[in-house]
């Protein structure tokens, strides 16, 4: 293997590890804030929602801490393994990352601290505001990162500086160029899809643990606990799981259609189109088509048949891209095999199907859960209801495969060619091979790859152990709810 291969493996591994925590933090922060808002509004179930917010808040805090630890390494790689990429993209890529670190991360870390230690020491309104500010920080953090990544998928608001050969913000666009980097169609679709995935991950966690605890409480004779805490929590999670699943399916549909325009090689690979033609059928697996004529064409073009339903094969797309970009530099971009190797095509094909199938599985599970709980019934299986916990990994797996497809399908480009100026010979574009640092040696990358993988694996084990420990601990209905007393001096203590 070469340094390029190891650098790509290292970035892929650290990204996948980090993204185990990211969607859970984004979604859980929002849903815990909603729970605490229900408690703040009062009513007969106010104390129950307060305890539920504390219970799921424990899991949120653990997850956020591990997510911060795994995310630190990400940005360092840009200046080390990928210094040529940083040199080319620094003027564009640096701004969103700076905003993420200086604005969003500090917003998150400040207000999560206030939320953790402020219960009983600050007013209920201020305490509620702190969790909403923390949630806002997670959303804006996602926006900055998604905008930076979307620029790599579909550059907007930038031009090539003829003197330095670097990508810079379009000087004619002024502030509008930076806003175009943030709020173009690619970034907005990706942001919506990522937030949908976050709700799926966090809602699945809430649903699975609530169903499990409901069954466990009933088996132990604590029916009141099941009715007061776990049934409302399960219904709450199921509703948000349906919202997240439907939003994920819908935004995924629009992203798939958009990818045809900005990355046709990725689109052809993930659809598995072998021959250009109309009314393409959807292949669930190679040689296994679903019995719906023109389904793949409809998913991509909104047409089941006719000239508008035509989809191009991988080979035809490769030839077109080689001709298109070969006009810029025949030696560098003129080889059709540059644009989609067999291994990457297979990865895009299967990743797309894993992500899609799991999305529908979670939607079906959410609907089934609401059916189980209809009419005020409790979920009361003969066992402990532990099978619901097998759903917890599914949205994580779907998210990981979504990112794998997104990043690998963009190859061979680390910055995909700028489609808005496709007629120009001076496009914002960068091959992955050209983004690698010229001074980092194979041995250095290998050592860091082994080291970070080992550390992340260790942290991942700790993450699972801590989540399991506090999930199994559950809620103590008899425990006193800490209330704010303006006249008393409350000690600083870790309440979650």
Q: Is the four-CA dihedral 207, 212, 218, 223 of positive or negative sign?
A: negative
pTM over 0.85: yes
Q: Would you kindly state where each structural domain of the chain is located, as residue ranges? A: 3-160+171-273+340-473
Given phi > 0 = left and psi -120 to 50 = alpha, else beta, which region is 470? alpha
Distance between CA atoms of residues 324 and 421, nearest Å:
12
Distance between CA atoms of residues 435 and 413, nearest Å:
9
Question: Tens place of pLDDT for every residue, the chain, 496 residues?
Answer: 688 888 888 888 888 888 888 999 999 999 999 999 999 998 888 899 999 999 999 999 999 888 877 777 777 777 788 889 989 988 888 888 888 888 888 899 899 999 988 888 888 899 999 999 999 999 999 999 999 999 999 998 888 888 888 998 888 766 788 888 899 999 999 999 999 999 999 999 999 999 999 988 888 888 888 899 999 999 999 999 999 999 999 999 999 999 999 999 999 999 988 889 988 888 888 878 888 888 999 998 999 999 999 999 999 999 999 999 998 889 899 999 999 888 888 999 999 999 999 999 999 999 999 998 887 787 767 655 678 889 999 999 999 999 999 998 888 999 999 876 555 657 899 999 999 988 888 888 888 889 888 888 898 899 999 999 999 988 877 666 666 666 555 555 554 4
Tokens of 466: 């801590």
- Write out the DSSP string of 195-210: HHHHHHHHHHHHHHHH
- Write out the DSSP string of 154-165: S--SEEE-TTT-
Distance between CA atoms of residues 204 and 366, nearest Å:
9
The dihedrals phi and psi of 286, each to the nearest 5 degrees, come to -55, 120
């Amino acid at each position: 293997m070469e340094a390029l291969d190891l650098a790509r493996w290292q970035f892929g591994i650290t990204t996948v590890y980090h993204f185990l925590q990211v969607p859970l933090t984004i979604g859980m922060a929002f849903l815990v804030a909603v729970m605490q808002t229900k408690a703040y509004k009062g009513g007969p179930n106010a104390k129950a929602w307060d305890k539920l917010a504390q219970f799921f808040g424990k899991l949120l805090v653990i997850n956020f801490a591990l997510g911060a630890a795994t995310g630190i390494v990400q940005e360092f790689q840009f200046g080390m393994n990928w210094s040529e990429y940083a040199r080319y993209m620094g003027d564009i890529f640096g701004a969103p990352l700076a905003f993420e670190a200086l604005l969003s991360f500090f917003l998150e870390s400040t207000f999560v601290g206030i939320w953790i230690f402020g219960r009983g020491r600050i007013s209920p309104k201020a305490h509620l505001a702190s969790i909403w500010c923390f949630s806002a920080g997670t959303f804006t953090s996602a926006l900055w990162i998604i905008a930076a990544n979307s620029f790599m998928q579909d550059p907007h608001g930038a031009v090539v500086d003829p003197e330095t050969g670097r990508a810079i913000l379009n000087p004619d666009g002024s502030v509008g160029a930076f806003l175009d980097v943030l709020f173009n169609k690619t970034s907005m679709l990706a942001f919506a899809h990522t937030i949908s995935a976050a709700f799926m991950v966090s809602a699945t966690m809430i649903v699975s643990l609530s169903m499990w605890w409901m069954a466990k409480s009933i088996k132990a004779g604590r029916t009141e606990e099941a009715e007061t805490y776990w049934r409302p929590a399960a219904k709450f999670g199921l509703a948000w799981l349906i919202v997240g699943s439907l939003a994920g399916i819908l935004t995924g549909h629009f992203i798939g259609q958009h990818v045809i325009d900005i990355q046709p090689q990725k689109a052809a690979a993930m659809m598995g189109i072998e021959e250009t033609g109309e009314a393409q059928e959807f292949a669930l697996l190679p040689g296994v088509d679903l019995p719906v004529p023109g389904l793949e064409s409809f998913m991509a073009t909104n047409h089941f048949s006719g000239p508008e339903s035509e989809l191009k094969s991988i080979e035809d797309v490769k030839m077109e891209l080689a001709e298109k970009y070969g006009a810029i530099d025949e030696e560098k971009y003129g080889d059709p095999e540059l644009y989609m190797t067999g291994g990457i095509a297979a990865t895009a094909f299967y990743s797309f199907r894993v992500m899609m199938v799991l999305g529908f599985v979670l939607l079906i599970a959410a609907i089934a859960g609401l059916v189980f709980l209809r009419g005020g019934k409790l979920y009361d299986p003969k066992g402990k209801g532990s099978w619901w916990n097998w759903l917890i990994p599914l949205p994580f797996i779907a998210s990981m495969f979504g990112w794998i497809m997104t990043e690998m399908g963009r190859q061979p480009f680390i910055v995909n060619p700028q489609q808005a100026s496709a007629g120009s010979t001076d496009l914002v574009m960068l091959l992955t091979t050209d983004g690698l640092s010229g001074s980092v040696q194979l041995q250095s990358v290998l050592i860091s790859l082994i080291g970070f993988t080992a550390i992340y694996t260790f942290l991942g084990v700790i993450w699972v152990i801590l989540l399991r420990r506090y999930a199994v601990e559950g809620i103590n209905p008899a425990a006193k709810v800490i209330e704010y007393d303006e006249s008393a001096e409350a000690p600083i203590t870790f309440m979650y």
